[in-house]
Chains A and B, each alone.
Chain A
Amino acid sequence: MMGGILLLPIIVAVIYREIDTIPFFLIGASLAFILGSLLNHFLETKKEMELKHAVVMVAVGWLLAPVLASIPIWLSNATASYLHASFESLSGFTGTGLTVATDIDHLSHSINFLRHFLQFVGDGIGIIVVSLSILGKTKISSVLAFKGEAKELGIRPSIVRTSRIIIGIAITFLIVGTILFAAAGIKEGLNPGTAIFDGLNHSMTGYATGGFSTRSQNLLFYHSVWVEVAAIVTMIIGALNFNLHYAILGGKRKEILKNIEVRILFFSLLALGFLVSANLIFSNLYTSPDSLFRKGIFHVISGQTTTGFQTAPPQHFMLLWPVFSMIVISIAMILGGCANSTSGGIKMVRIGILFKSIVREVRQTLLPRSAVVRGTFHNIEDTPITDTMIKGAAVIAMGYIVLFTFGTMITVAHGYSVESSMFETSSALGNVGLSSGITSPSMPFVVEVTYMFLMWAGKLEIIAVLVLMGFIILGLRKGIKK
């Protein structure tokens, strides 16, 4: 499947007559086919697959896929080294959007398309979902692999049908986003061909809440409120739950406002947006309503939806923006979007569950002992809050906090300020992509590898990574005992 993904940019190369880039994709695709054939041959088993195997398979798959995708990026000299190419590829697949590419403005259309397409396929849809849709195998292993990719969707009984619906939803909003971006681009002075190419790519990364851009200035290149509005539309839509999309597109329009995640997202965006905007205006950095909206609100939305589109130079976050605003945006990035969406972070449903559990505990304490306090939340349907749910949410939240602390400490140890380290770490862990300037081709090796680990762990919501580590440790122990 990776081979197929790496062949697709050849179409773009032909359209733009970038024939010199075609060998890069052929080499990447060939290696993917060879590796895939060998793995399929030597690792195939008829034994029953358990959940732990599926989770490990997904975790390893999410490492191998970026390694393969990094080959054309490295061959094209888009990055200074193979490590940078791997970082770029992993940032693409995980929908992070932190970039170490050099000279983005002179990249070929085909390589640029690949960077954006990786985000759409890897994060916007999910490589396991794409595999299931194309291969169409409905076995227990498929179900388990689907769950292993941190997708707990029950849209349709058949996992293959669910996967195809996810792709259908993604393509729908890809088309909508492309139209919005292209129309904005043409209105703001781009020629139609450029507007459509940029529009398609930004729609892919906006819906995937990835944040890669075809320009080194990111969305600041366009100096356009209409492009930013198009970006906000795609970012928020990308941050919504797939189940919610399915319900709304199927006629349940009331879900738009009834859904707990939408309500929390709405409240969170406005509350954090207010805090950042207030901080910016009273620091006299941005003083007009449109600049508060286009800088303050925009970056809160970009952060919380974990997209990473930027309309300010990265260095400005570190050097000009007040510390309070950076901390608020860091919090927004950790909170993240809705569950079962393209967003990263802890996710709104978990925040909602944890918040409601606190309310439940307080009420339980205040009421007589014999009273039983039940909590529910509405997420497509009314769901009672169980102790298992609370435990699950708390474990993930704790995992995020531990990794966030680890990443921040590593970054601070390399001489960066605390607020910039927090900002960049939460960006990598939440698969966001907003940068304060730490992520660059000249970033320290240890910091780069740390962020690669955080992007990978954040994408798989930590548990899969821990299961893989446990699997390896158990395997080693068994080996030592023998």
Chain B
Amino acid sequence: MVAILLLLIVPLARAESGQALIENSASFDGKTVTFTGEVIGVLMRDNYAWVNILDNEVAIGVWCSAEDARKVTVIGDYRHGGDTVEAIGTFRMADPEQGGDLDIRADNFTVVAVGQELSRSPSLPLVTFSVVLMIVAIFVAIFLRHIRKEKERIVPWPFH
């Protein structure tokens, strides 16, 4: 019973979307937010680090401790889906301590899911088509050059 009451009193942390944070920056400024997304970049800065997190086309930089940043094992790129992390901290639309950057100063940083490799195998039909087309291109170039040379031989310039 007490537990249920406590749950009702303590506000549930709901992750804000990147889009919502960017478009409503003024209203979120200075407030504690929860931001979840894929890690697309980690930049270590001595005892701290920037972790850039992507949430559905919108990326936000999270300023956290180097220890927290080291929890990230997979960074998202062409071949990898990065770790999914959850950062809880203070949102700043123009952080004066970070040159006016939009950021989240994380108090809490958790890896929710480890990233994985993405399958990027070549498409056989496309490979075949590309090779055939290249051969056609070479053939067309040589053939037209041959016609031009024949034309010049039969009817020398300037009588074309």
Contacts and interface: CB of A to CB of B under 8 A. Distances in A.
Interface stretch (B6-14, B105-113, B134-142): B134-142
Interface string B93-126: 1101011111100000000000000101111001
A24 B26 CA distance: 43
Contact of B41 (A3, A109, A221): A221
A361 interface: no
Nearest to A311: B101
Nearest to A45: B160
Contacts of A40: 144
B99 A294 contact: yes
A199 to B, nearest CB: 14
Interface in A193-216: 215-216
A26 B78 CA distance: 20
Interface stretch (A27-35, A166-174, A428-436): A27-35
A475 B134 CA distance: 36
Given A30-B130, A34-B140, A37-B141, A313 B22 contact: yes
A216 B57 contact: yes
Contact of B137 (A34, A221, A222): A34
A319 B23 contact: yes
Interface string B41-67: 111110001101010011101010000
A18 B45 contact: no
B14 to A, nearest CB: 21
A18 B41 contact: no
A225 interface: yes
Contact of A313 (B50, B102, B127): B102
A37 B133 contact: no
Q: Which of A29, A108, A312, A320 has the most CB of B within 10 A?
A: A320
Contacts of B59: 105, 215-217, 221
A315 B23 contact: yes
B120 A295 contact: no
Interface string A368-382: 000000000000000
B131 interface: yes
A262 B78 CA distance: 42
Nearest to B118: A106
Interface stretch (A117-125, A267-275, A283-291): A283-291
A291 to B, nearest CB: 3
A26 B54 contact: no
Nearest to A291: B100
Interface of A is mostly: helix
Contacts of A188: 43, 45
A27 B132 CA distance: 9
B55 to A, nearest CB: 11
A27 B129 contact: yes
Contacts of A387: none
* A37, A311, A315, most chain B CB atoms within 10 A: A37
Contact of A105 (B49, B77, B134, B141): B77
B60 to A, nearest CB: 8
B98 A223 contact: yes
Given A41-B147, A316-B22, A220 B102 contact: yes
B50 A223 contact: yes
A23 interface: yes
Given A34-B137, A41-B147, A319-B23, A189 B102 contact: no
Interface string A390-433: 00000000000000000000000000000000000000000000
A189 B50 contact: yes
A223 B22 contact: no
B44 A189 contact: yes
For B49, B58, B101, B126, the residue with the greatest tally of chain A CB atoms inside 10 Å of its CB is B101
B76 A105 contact: yes
A215 B76 CA distance: 12
B61 A220 contact: yes
Given A19-B122, A105-B40, A319-B25, A38 B99 contact: no
A108 B79 CA distance: 8
Contacts of B96: 286-288, 291
B133 A31 contact: yes
Contacts of A22: 122, 130
A40 B141 CA distance: 10
B148 interface: yes
Contacts of B61: 217, 220-221, 223
12 contacts: A24-B130, A26-B133, A27-B133, A31-B137, A33-B141, A37-B141, A188-B45, A190-B43, A221-B41, A223-B98, A293-B99, A294-B100
Interface of B: 22-23, 25-26, 40-45, 49-50, 52, 54, 57-59, 61, 63, 76-78, 93-94, 96, 98-103, 118, 120-123, 126-127, 129-131, 133-134, 136-138, 140-141, 144-145, 147-148, 157-158, 160
Interface of A: 3, 16, 18-20, 22-24, 26-27, 29-31, 33-34, 37-38, 40-41, 44, 46, 75, 102-103, 105-109, 188-190, 215-217, 220-225, 285-288, 290-295, 311-313, 315-316, 319-320
